[in-house]
Amino acid sequence: MKQLLILSGKGGTGKTTIASAFIRLADAKAYADCDVDAPNLHLITGQNSDPIKTDYYGLPKAEINSKSCIECDQCRQGCRFDAISAEKIYKVDPLACEGCGVCKVVCPVDAISLKPAVAGELMMYTNEEKVFSTAQLKMGSGTSGKLVAEVKKQLKSAAVDVELAIIDGSPGIGCPVIASLSGADMVLIVAEPSVSGISDMERIIKTAAKFGTKTAVCVNKFDTNLDNTDKIEVFCEKEGLHFVGKIPFDSEAVKAINNGRTITDINCSSGAAVKEVYNKTMELFNKVVG
Amino acid sequence: MRIAVLSGKGGTGKTLVSVNLAATAKMSIYIDCDVEEPNGYLFFKPEDVQEEAISVKIPKVDNELCNGCRKCIGFCKFNALAYIKDKLIVFDEVCHSCSGCVMLCPEKALSEKEKIIGRVQKGTSDQVAVYTGILNVGEASGIPVIKKLLVENKLKADKHTFIDCPPGSACTVIESIKDADYCILVAEPTLFGVHNLNMVYELVRLFGKQYGVILNKCLEEENPAEKFCLEKNIKILGRIPFDTELGTLNSNAEIAVRKSEKYLDMFSLLLEAVTREV
Ligand code: SF4
Ligand code: SF4
Ligand code: SF4
Ligand code: SF4
């Protein structure tokens, strides 16, 4: 399975809109949403069956048995995440606990146990021909990188014979993105022509470069700021990145999304432009994997 | 008064709102906790910038002392340690700095060293104190940077403080809103917008925070985010229209309220609406 990963650095550049269009255009048999903090792809790819759901267990959470606790304060001092408080009784804040297990080791009376904790939910949509893997992280859970890895694993195991997988990546540059990058054959970055968008784009390009993944760039809503769009094109040329096209701002796109459709499902200017971006990207992708 | 500005996803106008509110409030503090993609400083272009490196402690192995017992590896919940070719290796990026391995090593072969993961900058822009946290590329967690940003500002709670939060509802967001007196949720008028708004809405409720919504990029058409607020009886603090002038100012990293009376009036009303709530 070869993976095309779509990233944006910053959220809201239209990454999911473009990923959903790609999925439609490629008639992709395997795709995934790695934005486990705020998954949106399922809203427009029109699943007609219910997903298979599996609980995702992150790291365990510490729990103090106050009956055996002798209030020696060791655990509180040992916890690097300020997760233990000592008001009336010694207590663990499950939202701050990272499950490292240090408190359990230092407790002299064995009053602490590590309890498994559900940190999210994996969802898998399948029918005869398509596999869609996605997940939702539980609020306040910090292990999203691991859940992203699970989403990809789930996709891989269900779609062994599929050649192309399209993956809607995670925003940011932290652990979830690093997890989405692992195993990706090529990255398409959806940039936004704003000063902040360019700054975010540069950071995500650096991150992808650390993994040596082939990277292409497209600009969404390019006509909202032509100067900045030019800057992005110049930047790509200078850095030797493939520039694969630009997509205009299109209020029809908002309508399509609000009706649960992709922009290629309706006749609109952004839909037409994304087709060209798709063709160029796939041409490059086939070279990379071939 | 500490006001956190958040949204389920990036790109909804979280930075637009927090930057312009801070600039409207004048003698205020702006803190950019979106350490993976800090953007606020691009708008404020702060002067007299001072920078401080942020580091965490990670284990360092003395291979002379290590006998390969692998006790540390067995303990590490984050798979940050491995024994390869007769040598203990630490994978810095995934280490969570819990110090457990150091504590446990029977041979005292492990000690801690500082590792820089990012930086915090402070500067001023007119009368606004601008704080920015920047996570280094390739690092997994920005929490230590966020903690540093917020600890510094705990004492100055008398000024209007605007916290530009990271997107989403993960641990970094929780860290950012922990001590906030009020939360502003910024929402886009799309189906995605509603889905994302719902997440932060649940988050602020879970934390028992006071909150209100600013609807951004409002078009003439039906606004699913507005509908959501009305259904759930959520306070709407105000609406920012989709308008190309504002869009252009914003995409050029200009602070709209410093460029035009029109936007200054608009954000003054928003600021009033927020202050009234707190
Ligand atoms: S498991 Fe680690 S993070 Fe959780 S309370 Fe114990 S020491 Fe703190
Ligand atoms: S280390 Fe154990 S005994 Fe000591 S305060 Fe913590 S839970 Fe109680
Ligand atoms: S616990 Fe200490 S001695 Fe054992 S493998 Fe780890 S570093 Fe080496
Ligand atoms: S400090 Fe904690 S997370 Fe880091 S290597 Fe040691 S045990 Fe693992």
Domains within chain B, CATH numbers bracketed: 2-54+118-276 (3.40.50.300), 56-116 (3.30.70.20)
Angle between helices A269-289 and A251-258 (to 10 degrees): 80
On whether the CB atoms of residues B4 and B163 are closer than 8 A, the answer is yes
Question: A155-190 pLDDT, tens per residue?
Answer: 998 887 888 999 999 877 777 888 888 889 999 999
Strands B47-61 and B110-125: antiparallel
Instruction: Write the DSSP symbol of residue A224.
Output: G
From 3.30.43.10, 3.90.420.10, 3.40.50.1000, 3.40.50.300, which CATH number describes the A2-56+126-286 domain?
3.40.50.300
Q: How does A13-52 read in b/e, with b if 16+ C-beta sit within 10 Å? A: bbbbbbbbbbbbbbebbbbbbbbbbbbbbbbbbebeeebe
Q: Which atom of ligand 4 is nearest to the CA of B99?
A: 1
The greatest distance separating any two alpha carbons of chain A, rounded to the nearest whole angstrom, comes to: 70
pLDDT tens by residue, A79-126: 999 899 998 899 999 888 989 999 999 999 999 999 999 989 999 998
What residues pair up with B76 in beta bridges, in sequence order?
A: none
**0.85 surpassed by complex ipTM:** no
Helices (DSSP H) in chain B: which residue ranges? 14-25, 40-44, 71-75, 100-104, 143-153, 171-177, 191-206, 224-232, 244-251, 256-259, 261-277
**B-chain residue closest to A200, CA distance:** B37
Model confidence at A54: pLDDT above 90: yes
| B75 inside 8 A of chain A by CB | yes
Say which residues have a Cβ less than 8 Å from residue A181's Cβ, sequence separation at least 6.
A5, A169, A187, A207, A208, A211, A213
- The CATH code belonging to domain A59-116 is 3.30.70.20
Angle, CA B115 vertex, CA B111 and CA B116 arms, to 5°: 165
Residues of chain A with CATH 3.40.50.300: 2-56+126-286
> Please, which pLDDT band fits residue A134 given cuts at 50, 70 and 90?
very high
pLDDT over 70 at B155, yes or no: no
With a 6 Å cutoff on the Cβ, whether A97 touches ligand 1 is yes
B60 lines ligand 3 (CB under 6 A): no
- Per-residue pLDDT reduced to its tens digit, B181-195: 999 999 988 888 888
Contacts of B199 in chain A (CB under 8 A): 38, 139
Query: What number of helices (H) and strands (E) belong to chain A?
Result: 9, 13
Query: pTM of the full predicted structure?
Result: 0.83
Residue A91 · residue A84 · CB < 8 Å: yes
